[in-house]
């Protein structure tokens, strides 16, 4: 069974930092490019960052570039999101999601975690 389990979400003060982690099982992690996608309360889905299957390239939403860093460890089947200088607008449920690099779903996110809530507030 494919499983993606995010962790690390919590209440953090504005200006603070937080590291989210997503551990996976049930599939070959190195076959998947991974991304973080968030949904703020009452808002739509927003792509945050992505990383290739072997970790050699990372991509970021333009509005978040410089504050967030995505990384992965294929030996541990984990993908992380380091979030710095957090703002109230970063309050959201953060999902990790995967794209099969073999092209099975033509670069669509066919696997998703259940999400972890990040609240930025004083």
- Report the distance separating Cα 116 and Cα 51, nearest Å: 19
* Contact positions with another protein (CB under 8 A) in 71-100: 95, 97
- Report the distance separating Cα 64 and Cα 36, nearest Å: 12
Q: Which stretch binds another protein (CB under 8 A): 10-18, 23-31, 71-79, 106-114?
A: 106-114
For the chain, the 3-state helix, strand and coil shares in percent, each to the nearest 5, are 5, 50, 40
- Report the distance separating Cα 99 and Cα 16, nearest Å: 30
Q: Which of 5, 27, 40, 47 binds another protein (CB under 8 A)?
A: 47
Is residue 23 close enough to count as binding another protein by CB under 8 A?
no
Q: Which stretch binds another protein (CB under 8 A): 13-21, 67-75, 83-91, 111-119?
A: 111-119
Name residue, tokens 């993908």. Answer: 79
Q: Which of 2, 11, 28, 45 binds another protein (CB under 8 A)?
A: 45
- Report the distance separating Cα 58 and Cα 82, nearest Å: 13
Which parts of this chain interact with another protein (CB under 8 A)?
35, 37, 44-47, 50, 57, 59, 61-62, 95, 97, 105-110, 112-115
């Amino acid at each position: 069974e494919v499983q993606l389990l995010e962790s690390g979400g919590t209440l953090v003060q504005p200006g603070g930092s937080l590291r989210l982690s997503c551990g996976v099982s049930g599939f070959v992690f190195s076959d998947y490019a991974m991304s973080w996608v968030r949904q703020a309360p009452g808002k739509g889905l927003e792509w945050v960052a992505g990383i290739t299957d072997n970790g050699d390239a990372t991509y970021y939403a333009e509005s978040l570039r410089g504050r967030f860093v995505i990384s992965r460890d294929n030996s541990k089947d984990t993908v992380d999101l380091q979030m710095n200088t957090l703002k109230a607008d970063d309050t959201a449920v953060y999902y990790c999601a995967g794209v099969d690099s073999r092209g099975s779903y033509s670069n669509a996110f066919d696997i998703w975690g259940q999400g972890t809530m990040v609240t930025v507030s004083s």
